[in-house]
Chains A and B, each alone.
Chain A
């Protein structure tokens, strides 16, 4: 059962523009959300996270927004750079749980 869904398998954006990646979840118990970035032949690396007590978290060019009522979160990358071309995974968990539930990923391609 896919509790975390990333419905856009790919996204192409021009360098300097904003990339918006979306993620939906079905488990209302999730209270912590993370985004990971993955380059080919490498493991996922942590990008940014947000707790359910917040609706926004920023870290440099990366901002994550959480809409709990809609069970939806999004990752904004602004401005997009060629090095941002990668697969981005949305993940979620419940406090005191030890596992992450991942979405299927969105492949971002930043065009020069």
Chain B
């Protein structure tokens, strides 16, 4: 049973560029949450998607946007990249109604902005 799959695993972008990160949830899960983990810090909640809608959003600027597809997979888009956006981006999937209960995390995408 495949867990959460994130792609790519590593990415290097230049300041000002745009990036798209992808996440395929664990089989049977329909809710996807995105977290940003900066170096030396814990994961910070970006937003959660359920039924193709953003259900809740953390304290992140509008440069961070997302999408959920009918097959429950999700994308995280970041526009106008800053150096400070360099981080590990984690995707977590779960069952509807559970929010964070039963989160399964992916291994993350390491984004480096130069």
Contacts and interface: CB of A to CB of B under 8 A. Distances in A.
Contacts of B41: 104
Q: A6, A44, A103: which has the most chain B beta carbons within 10 Å? A: A44
Given A89-B42, A98-B56, A99-B56, A43 B108 contact: yes
Contacts of A44: 43, 90, 105
Interface string B22-57: 000000000001010000111111001000000110
B42 A98 contact: no
A101 B105 contact: no
Given A41-B107, A43-B106, A43-B108, A99 B42 contact: no
B106 A99 contact: no
A22 interface: no
Task: Say what secondary structure dominates the interface of chain B.
Answer: loop
Contacts of B82: none
Contacts of A98: 33, 48, 55-56, 99-100
Interface bin, chain B: 20 to 34
Contacts of A43: 4, 90, 92, 104-108
Interface of B: 4, 33, 35, 40-45, 48, 55-56, 58, 90, 92, 99-100, 102-108
Given A46-B102, A98-B99, A99-B56, 8 more contacts: A6-B42, A43-B105, A44-B43, A89-B42, A93-B99, A100-B103, A104-B40, A104-B42
Interface of A: 4, 6, 9, 34, 36, 41-46, 89, 91, 93, 97-105
